[in-house]
Amino acid sequence: MAKVRVGIVGCGGIANQKHMPSLKANSDLNEIVAFCDIIEERAVKAKADFGTEDAKVYTDYHDLVNDPNVDMVHVCTPNVAHCPITVAAFEAGKHVMCEKPMAHNTEDAQKMIDAWKKSGKKFTIGYQNRLRDDTQTLHASCEAGELGEIYFAKAHALRRRAVPTWGVFPNKALQGGGPLIDIGTHALDITLWMMNNYEPASVSGSVNFKLGRQADGPAGNVFGPWDPETFEVEDSAFGFIKMKNGATIYLEASWALNILKSMEASTTLCGTKAGAEIHHGGSYPKDELIYNTVEHNQLMEKTISPAGVVDFFEGGASAEGVREQKQWLEAIINDTEPLVKPEQAFVVTQILEAIYKSAETGKEVYFD
């Protein structure tokens, strides 16, 4: 079996913390043969740490995507750069994995979808939280109909005070937004996936700039103080999503919010037969999956024994990251569908953009 030859565009935090270690853990299926970063030293270091001996180093992504030795490109750049790099890679005949979210707006996401369909290549988005033990178990329950019709859900992405102070996270021009587009995207993705519902009807949103720009805002931040003068994005955001089948989803996302309990990439599902909750990250050192139902006329709760959480912010590849790369590489090698389908990620971007638009206009946003 020939190995997939991978090129990395963007050799910063997410590439070093998730993509490249996870690819290395699947070295029987791939080899990283090219690295690109606008800061050449980062690409050189990435090659030394993860690349083949003869791997190429570039500072212009056009050179990497047109390298004939590259089969597949990983796009690990700030959000606003996802679209042009992905489109160029498809035009060059490469498979593409793009880090989440697909794009910072629907217009760019549509361009990516169009280029993908025209290319005939594989395309996926980096929503690795689908590969956790708890999400895999709950998804199997949903597919089996054990919760019945899921008509109400909450997508949780709440941090108490954990604003990322590295990279370009507070830069609106490069990221397109704050916690909503950064971590809210994961919570919304797993919630839609559990419901198997990708047909939104309308969205109402609220976006707050309360703590991030206060002079004393940095106090108590997990990742150290941030600069209020350069904090350009929201510190919290909330959305109410109505689906065409009548189901509703409440999405909550924050980097800084005065709450006691915090969790990320978590979901609450309410069905006609039963309910379920996933608690992950933040206040939960170990993942919790709790089912609630009725048995013998008694209210019951069932809990899956947790396997623990490995937070990739601290470096290294988490188990879900390794699984994510394995299924993605096998999809290319075996010509099968990846777990995260582009059409699904596109709807996530549509909804996130609608929340921002609703908050800006003060009006509900309707979908065709």
The answer to whether residues 143 and 223 belong to one domain is: yes
**Planar angle of CA 131, 154, 127, nearest 5 degrees:** 25
Strand order, beta sheet including 298-304: 298-304, 284-295, 275-281, 263-271, 150-158, 248-254, 236-243, 200-208, 365-366
Residue 87 is part of a domain; what is its CATH number? 3.40.50.720
Q: Are residues 116 and 150 in the same domain?
A: no
- The span from the first CA to the last CA of the chain, in angstroms, equals 45
pLDDT at position 306 is: 47
Q: How far apart are CA 32 and CA 54, in angstroms?
A: 10
Q: What is the rounded distance in angstroms from the CA atom of residue 226 to the CA atom of residue 210? A: 14
pLDDT on residue 187 = 98
Q: Tell me how many domains the chain contains.
A: 2
Residues 181 and 107 in one domain: no
- With a cut of 70, which residues of the chain have pLDDT below it? 1, 305-317
Residue type, 365: V
Cβ-Cβ contacts under 8 Å for 315 (sequence gap 6 or more): 16, 17
Return d(Cα 204, Cα 103) in angstroms, integer: 20
Cα separation of 33 and 51, whole Å?
6
pLDDT of residue 305: 59
Contact 189, 130 (CB under 8 A): yes
DSSP-derived 3-state class of residue 294: strand
Do residues 115 and 173 both lie within one domain? Answer: no
pLDDT of residue 1: 56
Tokens of 19: 């993509």
pLDDT at 213: 87
Chain segment 324-349, per-residue pLDDT in tens: 999 999 999 999 999 999 999 999 99
- Domain, as residue range, for 116: 4-121
Q: Which of 86, 121, 156 is the last residue of a domain?
A: 121
